Structure 1
Amino acid sequence: MVADNDPEASARAMVEARADGFPHALVYTHAPRPGIPAARNAALRASLSWARAQPGADPEHPLDAVCVVDDDEWVVPGWLRELLGTRAATGADVVTATVEPVFVGTPPAWAVAGRFYERDRYPTGTSLDYARTSNVLVDGRVFTADGLRFASVGMPGGSDTFFFERARLRGRRIVWCDEAVAYEEVPAERVSARWLVLRQYRYGLVRSAVLRATVPSRARHVRRALAGAGTAAWGLARLVVGVADPVRRVAAARVVASGVGLVLGLVGVTYDDYREVHGR
């Protein structure tokens, strides 16, 4: 299932041409409405429609599972088998996995030494409280029985964080699969301290926007604000100590940005880091 979020439907011809001779059903759907949640929901609607048309499909719960990767990623052989195997072994409703960076060109030494573009990894079966749509399997009943859909948290990006937090609050279990690796290119335009700091700032904004949307507790919001302020202060202290070292300097600046985002996200501040398209 390929959702094309370009108003001009620029991917239609390419996808439909690949459908001939493709080893699996390859379905194109156009999602002209701007925004990541609109594209994800369009792909989901098309998936449900396709699944219900299959012989013997359960009309209420036609989807066994939905797997998602981003359009700039590729996966290892056996990726789907690993996700399905982890779901079968753990009984989890959501199985998420890593996305490893592949730099375009030679990155600076500080970017590699700091491992800023690598994501945390865990033993397979580890329970988590988050997931990302960049590499994930979601049980179909999360969409049909729970009725969950992707929704904005008031800014571009973060709709997957919001989605999986709502699933978690409904009792859906999220686990890690370390073998189902995906890869993505890291364009040269993203290999900068500025990009890393602003991405961490947006992450803080999203976390607090999701908290505002899911937990209307003033006490929780106050605790989050205090935690964000403490995080920013800790990052500033680290920045002073490590200012001469590029790895320590960038790491500390990201901590500051995350803390500031946690605070400002509570009052509705937003940031759009999707305005600029990087890479191909």
Structure 2
Amino acid sequence: MERSLTRITVAAATRQRPRMLADLLQSLQGLDVPQGAELSFVFVENDVILSISGLVDDFHKRTGWPARAVHEPRQGISYARNAIIDAATEDGADWLAFIDDDEHVRHDWLRLLWAGAKDANAQLAGGPVVPVAPAMGCSENETEVLAYYERAAKVSNMRKEVAMTSGRRFDIGAGNWIADLSAINVGNLRFDPDFGLSGGEDTDFSRRAYKAGLTLAWVPQAIVTEEVARARLSTAYIVERARAQTITKFQIMMAESPKTAKINALAQILSKGASGLLRIASWPIFGRYSYHRGYRSLGIAQGLLAGLRGESQARYTQVTGD
């Protein structure tokens, strides 16, 4: 019997963050059900044991929505996200929405995200992730780092809006996106396990989806918030995160343009290194945002140099948050 409603599966991968997952579930239970749709939920635990079944069962009892916990013991975010795709496919989902376990959604998030995808005739659509303070609060220095993250997120979101309007390619992060599952499966698109511990698997997926002919869309109204763990609210973390992300981006550059990637990397090492030092030195004039952005530039330069040396990054072996 043919279904009269479109099935949307909302999913998240999680690892050793039970409090954050519980907070996410609390926000999800207030979701508006989009007109013409029915909801189901999949939560994949990427750890040696499955411990989230109780949380997921309680969520199902509170909401009445189908929800299941899936175990993926192979460590790596790519394995977890691929397990989500497989589970949603088994459940007969038409659309698949990704959210991260350290995020909160507004009641209209899914409705706006799906509507934006359909309005743009897109098979993959994303929305903004807005950083917010950790539940336990933060110090003055940590608040300054959080302000940097907030401003950087606004700049990134604006660039995506401009890129979509002008018809240029842009990348969509899996912390807030929705995909036409049939298009994903027809294109045989999955997250690359080579990026499972380094991060950047969603950037790689987004670019391969674009190359496969999928239409991408940006939905600025479909906002989620991300609780930033205190361990991430430091200049040292800004540098390390930029370094790790850039190693992955260099690997993507090598795959896309092997003849020019190394030359471009050398040029960027010089430019990012110089601009980073200049921004740090001039922060009394331009403020703390310039200071933190300067350290990010140095992290990018370090990441490109590490990539040229053949180094890899295992950023996702360490869990931040609780």
Same fold by TM-score, threshold 0.5 exceeded? yes
Distance 2:148 2:76 in 1: 32
Q: How many residues align?
A: 268
Name 2:148's counterpart in structure 1. 114
Identity of aligned residues (%): 25
Task: Say yes or no: does 1:269 pair with 2:311.
Answer: yes
Unmatched runs of 5 consecutive residues or more in structure 2 = 1-41
Query: What TM-score results when the alignment is normalised by the length of structure 2?
Result: 0.75
Q: The residue matched to 1:150 in structure 2 has which SS?
A: coil
State the match for 1:16 in structure 2. 57
Distance 1:185 1:88 in 2: 29
* Counterpart Cα distance in 1 of 2:275 and 2:152: 23
What SS does the corresponding residue of 1:209 show, helix, strand or coil?
helix
Which residue number in structure 2 is paired with residue 149 of structure 1?
Answer: 190
Alignment of 1:178-257 (within 5 A): 178-212=220-254, 214-242=255-283, 246-257=288-299
Q: Distance in 2 between matches of 1:117 and 1:107?
A: 18
Further displaced range: 41-50 or 234-243: 234-243
Gaps of 5+ in 1: 52-62
Tell me what 2:203 maps to: 161
**2:172 maps to which residue?**
131
| Distance in 2 between residues matched to 1:220 and 1:276, nearest whole Å | 29
Let me know the Cα RMSD of the aligned residues: 2.4
| 1:89 and 2:135 are equivalent in the alignment | no
2: CA distance, partners of 1:116 / 1:254: 14
Asked if structure 1 preserves the Cα contact closer than 8 Å seen for 2:127 and 2:219, the reply is yes
Q: Distance in 2 between matches of 1:34 and 1:237?
A: 39
Question: Which deviations, in whole Å up to 9, do the C-alpha atoms of 1:187-216 show, x marking residues without a partner?
Answer: 22221111112111112112111122x325
Using a 3 Å threshold, how does the CA distance of structure 1 residues 20 and 246 change in structure 2: closer, same or farther? closer
Does the 8 A contact of 2:272 with 2:300 survive in 1? yes
CA contact (8 A) 2:146 2:233 kept: no
> Residue deviations 1:190-247, cap 9 Å, x none?
21111112111112112111122x3253124322332333222222233333379644
1:4 to partner: Cα distance = 1.3
- The structure carrying a bigger helix percent of its residues is 2
Secondary structure of residue in 2 paired with 1:20: helix
For residues 249-280 of structure 1, the C-alpha deviation after alignment (integer angstroms, 9 at most, x for no partner) is 22211112113313432443222333332221
